[in-house]
Structure 1
Amino acid sequence: MAFDYSQELMNDYENYLKSIKDMMSQYFRAAFSNEWANKKDGNFILNKPNISPQILTIILRFIYCGRINLTELQEEFLLKVYPFNALLPEDIINNLLTFHTNSNKELDIKILPPRSPNYDSIIIKSKHFAHFSSWVKKKNNFFYNESNNPYDFNLLFRASRDGKTPADFHAKCDNKGATIVILKIPNSEQILGGYNPINWNSNCQWMYTSDSFIFSFTNKNNFRTAEVGYIKKTDYDCAIHCHQNYGPAFGEGYDLYQDNDGNWKSFNSCSYYKIDIPLGNEIMGGYNAFNVEDYEVFQVVNK
């Protein structure tokens, strides 16, 4: 039984292993059919004189479990296992060859720790960025984790490092594409912020988008306290406000923004669905002014 596979599939190791599993499954479905198999006392009997049970066990164990025991290899290795080298990582093949030719030689086996992205934040951890990515993709019933996060997050601005005025923000963040703003509320574990899928600029204009949102975590260590408020359909035209005298500004109202005095304020909610914004001092016009310990802005880019 022969199967043809594309070069693209050959180059994709994970998909290739899956295809091998599928191929083996097709093989055994045929092997256990009435045309091939003999059945005795409820057991299938397969007669494969060209492959020893030991070699078949080794191959199947690796394909299905990713595990292999070097001590079980015999002289049949070169003829029966090595032809499968296209399926195995190069370092495994090299170690198998080394062990087979000199079983006393120390093998170069590297066990790497799980890869976890290292984002330059002093406010949140990498798992928060994975959560943000789910919101960006509007996957509110499915959340990415640290290993399958489709975005990178590059630090553009940190207020405690780069300055706390609107001018400082625009100097670092204008014309950088999609960004996410993260605020740290003092004396608490609360964070909040907003996502802007388009450029910030200093041109004094309202910006249209249907993909922006604001968010909050009442406790950043408890993801059940997370809330996201997407821009309302009626307010796409005023989702983002860009002005040289203001820092980040979300919504017509504003729902969340940094005023020209550097303070953070909110008129929650107006253009975005309501989130948990901390209560501060009530000021003229109904705005809520609250304290921010620090804030960061990250550029959001596809991996």
Structure 2
Amino acid sequence: MDPDSVSTDNILLPRNIEIIDSKIVNLSIILFISGYISKVEISKFSHFRELYLLYIPYKFKLLLRGSRDGFTPRKFHESCDNVSNTLTFIKVKGTEEIVGGYNPLRWESSSSWGKTNDSFIFSLKNNDINNAIISDIENSTYALNYYSRNGPRFGNDINIENPNSQNENYNRIFCKKHHYKKKIRDSEEDFSIEDYEVFQIIKC
């Protein structure tokens, strides 16, 4: 053994550490997504994962939870407009499926499009990163949709809206490939939300 090397095999994650207050995703998903944001590939070796958790470069501030705050476009914009670097998780009702996306810009109610090369969308099943699909933006001009009757809408690829009212619950939610590189969901049919969460990512 190299006497100058440092073994990390016995490093344990502190039991009282709280990375994120989520009812939808687990720590494996947070590791996976935060690693993608920071462009760090998270190794499957346990010692590397524990080290990354100890020094994870982000804090996750909960801005909105549907089951707590409601499922209306108005509540989304009241809670999330003018906040940059946000991460959205949407739990599909009646399944173990999660879809979501990362927005490096701020959300708005400006009836316009947000342009960026750094947003991405994703889907997972059964809280398992091994079957995750991550899709980077393809047409950066239409990365984000800023209409007041939408929720956190990523291009036309993750559509969440109520076309008729800001004050009523979302009633049109679907995923369909348009402006991002990959299709993240097999079905393009509308689905219902069990819950959704939006976090601000704060770099430590």
Relative to the length of structure 2, the TM-score reads: 0.81
2:64–2:76 contact (8 Å) kept in structure 1: yes
Residue 298 of structure 1 pairs with residue 199 of structure 2: yes
Residue 223 of structure 1 pairs with residue 125 of structure 2: no
Match of 1:47 in 2: none
1:215–1:275 contact (8 Å) kept in structure 2: no
Match of 1:170 in 2: 77
Q: Which amino acid aligns with 2:27?
A: S
Out of 142, 160, 169, which is 1:238 matched to? 142
> How far did 1:176 drift?
1.3
Change (3 A) 1:200 1:115: same
Q: Which amino acid aligns with 1:269?
A: K
> How far did 1:191 drift?
0.7
1:169–1:247 contact (8 Å) kept in structure 2: yes
1:240–1:249 contact (8 Å) kept in structure 2: yes
User: Taking CA–CA contacts closer than 8 Å with sequence separation of 6 or more, which of the two structures ends up with the larger relative contact order?
Assistant: 2
> How far did 1:114 drift?
4.8
Change (3 A) 1:267 1:182: closer
1:174–1:201 contact (8 Å) kept in structure 2: yes
Residue 276 of structure 1 pairs with residue 184 of structure 2: yes
Q: Return the alpha-carbon distance in structure 2 between the equivalents of residues 296 and 267 of structure 1.
A: 17
Residue 260 of structure 1 pairs with residue 162 of structure 2: yes
- Deviations, residues 111-159 of structure 1 (Å, cap 9, x unaligned): x945632421111123322211112123457586422321111100011
Q: Secondary structure at the match of 1:301?
A: strand
Q: Secondary structure at the match of 2:130?
A: helix
Q: Secondary structure at the match of 1:223?
A: strand
1:215–1:229 contact (8 Å) kept in structure 2: yes
Match of 2:152 in 1: 248
Q: Return the alpha-carbon distance in structure 1 between the equivalents of residues 42 and 15 of structure 2.
A: 25
Q: Return the alpha-carbon distance in structure 1 between the equivalents of residues 14 and 71 of structure 2.
A: 38
Q: Return the alpha-carbon distance in structure 2 between the equivalents of residues 117 and 199 of structure 1.
A: 25
Match of 2:20 in 1: 119
More strand by share: 2
Q: Secondary structure at the match of 1:183?
A: strand
Change (3 A) 1:294 1:278: farther
Change (3 A) 1:268 1:206: same
Matches for 1:68-217 after TM superposition, within 5 Å: 113-114=14-15, 116-140=17-41, 145-217=52-124
> How far did 1:255 drift?
0.5
- Deviations, residues 261-298 of structure 1 (Å, cap 9, x unaligned): 5134335211112243263xxxxxxx631111110000
What are structure 2's unaligned runs of at least 5 residues? 8-12, 164-169
2:113–2:141 contact (8 Å) kept in structure 1: yes
2:86–2:103 contact (8 Å) kept in structure 1: yes
Q: Return the alpha-carbon distance in structure 1 between the equivalents of residues 197 and 172 of structure 2.
A: 14
Change (3 A) 1:158 1:278: farther
1:179–1:300 contact (8 Å) kept in structure 2: yes
2:28–2:129 contact (8 Å) kept in structure 1: no
Relative to the length of structure 1, the TM-score reads: 0.56
Change (3 A) 1:289 1:300: same
What is the number of equivalent residue pairs in this alignment?
187
More helix by share: 1
> How far did 1:246 drift?
1.1
Q: Secondary structure at the match of 1:300?
A: strand
Over aligned residues, Cα RMSD in angstroms? 2.7
- Deviations, residues 17-47 of structure 1 (Å, cap 9, x unaligned): xxxx76xx9xxxxxxxxxxxxxxxxxxxxxx
